[in-house]
Amino acid sequence: MAQAYEKYLKEILIDEQTLQRRIAELGRRISEDYAAAGDLLMICVLKGGVMFLTDLMRHVSVPHEIDFLAVSSYGVGIRESTGNVRIDMDLKAQVENRHVLIVEDIIDSGHTLRFVMDVLLARHPASLKLCTLLDKASRRTVDIPIDYTGFEIEDKFVFGYGLDLDEKFRNLPFVGVVNLDAFTHD
């Protein structure tokens, strides 16, 4: 029987093995870079970053804590983000004087991450870096300094591996390109 996601999948963009290999590499680099810091607080931006965080942290060998932040853009459709971002759920951890690494699924226009970074910077962390699995660099309208990137991807709407399609299919082990025809011909 065809699985529910299949009609929405145009093609697999990044398969499971490629994702996992790259995530292991990122984890090794983060471990090296934070070895001397003696502190690391990894902040996952919900919900999209959750698969990435849990896989990534398995490859981070320095002691670290995790926390979660949920944000949303409002007044927008499926495709566009605006500067109107708000916090839906704040961190439990204190950020002041901590070495903070934001873990995000995808950076598109950059509005969401600009907001998150400004909120965290105002709390005076010892350092603030950014790790994103996917970077749609060609769509950027706000400048964002990225310290760790999994994959730079083209301007295509993707889902799976934490990214949703109408809140579903975050559990897929790969990143797939959405078949837009499935929406117009339903």
Task: Return the number of the residue (23 or 85) whose C-beta is nearest ligand IMP.
Answer: 85
**Is 108 labeled as catalytic in the residue annotation?**
yes
C-beta of residue 176 within 8 angstroms of C-beta of residue 9: yes
Task: Please work out, in degrees rounded to the nearest 5, the angle formed at the alpha carbon of residue 19 by the alpha carbons of 119 and 79.
Answer: 50
Q: Among 34, 41, 100, 112, which residue interacts with ligand IMP (rule: CB under 6 A)?
A: 112
Q: Any idea of the CA torsion for 146, 152, 155, 159, to the nearest 10 degrees?
A: -100
Q: Among 55, 105, 108, 135, which residue interacts with Mg ion (rule: CB under 5 A)?
A: 105
Judged by CB under 6 A, which stretch of 4-12, 14-22, 59-67, 101-109 contacts ligand IMP?
101-109
Burial annotation 53-81 (CB, 10 A radius, 16+ → b, else e): bebbbebbeeebebbbbebebeeeeeeeb
Catalytic residue among 55, 105, 108, 135: 108
In the shown chain, the binding pattern of residues 47 to 66 toward Mg ion, with x for contact by CB under 5 A and - for none, equals -x------------------
Question: Would you tell me which residues interact with Mg ion (CB under 5 A)?
Answer: 48, 105
